[in-house]
Amino acid sequence: MDWNQLQGNWAQVSRRAQQRWGKLTDADLAPARDQRDRLLERIQARYGVVRDEAERQLQNWEHKATALWVRAGAPAARAPIA
């Protein structure tokens, strides 16, 4: 799922991001709606990981989101994302 699709469903996406990365706050996630890199930066900062590791985590999460949300008919609330 590309970032534009995630932006269109941001309320659900941000809840899923908080489930995946529990240290992220609403204040961390708000700027990420418009810029994927902002989410990447916040993951790095909150979890103390290097950019490559944060990128790997984010790509895995996006891939799971795509697979689960498409299979479940898109509503993010139906499928948990780890």
Q: What is the pLDDT of residues 42-54, one digit of tens each?
A: 999 999 999 999 9
Q: What is the pLDDT of residues 3-16, one digit of tens each?
A: 777 777 778 888 88
Kindly state the tokens that stand for 37.
């890199």
pLDDT of residue 80: 47
Confidence check: pLDDT of 76 > 60: no
pLDDT of residue 56: 97
Residue ranges and CATH numbers for the domains of the chain are 3-75 (1.10.1470.10)
pLDDT of residue 67: 62
